[in-house]
Amino acid sequence: MKGDFIHITDAAIFGRGGNQVVVRIAFTGDAIGHLYFVGKPEMNTLTQSVQIGGLRLDLDSEQLLQKSGPDWLDRSSVTDLVMREVVLGVTPAIDRMRDLVTKALNRELSPTITTHGTVTSVQGIGVFADVNRLYVRVMSDGTLTLKVDGKP
C-alpha cells in the first residue's frame, strides 16, 4: 500500500496433505510477523515449473490479520504478490531423473546380457504433494538395445 511496506525475509513451503501445500512468509518493515498461505501445486508444462494454484491465506492467518494486523496489510495485495512469486523450477530434479534412467538403461545384467539405452527427452507432466514431499510426475522418450552374447 502507498506509504507502507513489508520486506519478505524468509519463505518456506511445507506439505499439508491432500495435495495441498502451506507457504510460510516471514516479513519485517512497517509490519513484522509471518503469514501462512494454502494452495494446490500445479505443473506448468510449458515452463517446467510448479506454481501454487488457488493460493489463499489460511484461516488462522486471515483471522489474526483481521483482528490484530494493520489495516493496510489486510487490504494489501500480498496474496497476489506471493502467488506470482511462488514458482519452483523442476529442471534440476528432471535432470537428476534423466541421469538415473540413463544409468539404469546402460548396464550389464549378466556376463552375456547387456543393455544400452539413451534418453531423448524428459519433461514434467504433473505434480502431487503429500505431508512429506512434492512429487513431480515425468514422461520420457528414448531407446533401449539388448545385447545377448554366447550360446543359446
> What's the pLDDT tens digit per position in 50-95?
999 888 888 887 777 777 677 766 666 777 778 778 888 899 989 9
**Beta-strand relationship, 107-110 and 113-129:** antiparallel
As a whole-number percent, the residues of the chain with pLDDT over 90 amount to 48
| Sheet with 49-57, edge to edge strand ranges | 6-17, 20-29, 33-44, 49-57, 87-89
CA 42 to chain centre: 8
Cα separation, 135 vs 70, in Å, equals: 37
pTM for the full model? 0.73
